[in-house]
Amino acid sequence: MTHLTLLDQAVFVLAAVVLFTCFALLTQARLVATLRTFAWQGGLVAAVTALMAAAHREPHLYVTAALTLVLKAGVIPWMLHRWVRRLGLDRHVESLASPPAVTLAGVGLVIFCYWVVLPIERMELTATRNVIAVSLAVVVLGLLMMVTRRQAVSQVVGFMAMENGLFLAAVTATSGMPLVVELGVAFDILVAAVLFGVFFLQIRDAIDSLDVDRLNRLAEGMEQE
């Protein structure tokens, strides 16, 4: 990292902290704490975007950073937290299946992501090429969270974390998408958060729980009948 500028080094360090928040999401049992960690992750992604704007002199990225901060660190976590309170899950503690094994699996996936991105690093297309590996790892760890969690809210957070990884990759690899595209994506994410809340209420009314395993057992029982 010594040959990188200070701004590029700061981008890489913040991206690494974003990756660390993914491990915090994987091992967090309380839903409220999970949402707070997700909000911090959104704020860090916004900070990376602002640093990319300064490093590559892309003014439109400042707008993207502000939009990301408002939505991913404010509006969406607030909406999810509101749904959690409405569903009476603000004190819910989810039972995690073998947290050490999940953490080790996450570490293995991060190493695999760096191995996958190694050819891109050798091409030296950009000074922040290592962030692409971090972004891919964030996506994979978000997917791992969706697979290992049983609560629907936690799975939605994993899905949103995957979107953060994709957004981080787009910002660092291409210096940002056109502003119109980013506004459209932001609107889609906001609409998705609203729809997820509606689905939470529907699921809770149907089976009195947001445990996905109970929903799967109910579906299997209906198929057998």
Judge whether 224 lies within some domain.
no
Question: For the CA atoms of the chain, what is the radius of gyration?
Answer: 18
Q: Specify if 144 maps to a domain.
A: yes
User: Residue 75 is encoded by which pair of tokens?
Assistant: 């509006």
Q: Is residue 16 part of a domain?
A: yes
Is residue 186 one of the residues assigned to a domain?
yes
Q: What is the pTM of this model?
A: 0.82
Asked if residue 139 has pLDDT above 90, the reply is: yes
Does residue 1 lie in a domain region? no
Decide: helix, strand or coil at residue 155: helix
Q: Residue 38 falls within a domain, yes or no?
A: yes
- Give the chain's domain count: 1
> Crossing angle for the helix pair 179-207 and 76-86, nearest 10 degrees?
10
Residue range(s) defining the domain that contains residue 167: 6-218
pLDDT in tens, 98-130: 888 888 999 999 999 888 887 765 555 555 567
Determine the Cα–Cα distance for residues 149 and 97; give it in Å rounded to an integer: 8
**C-beta neighbour count of 197 within 10 angstroms:** 19
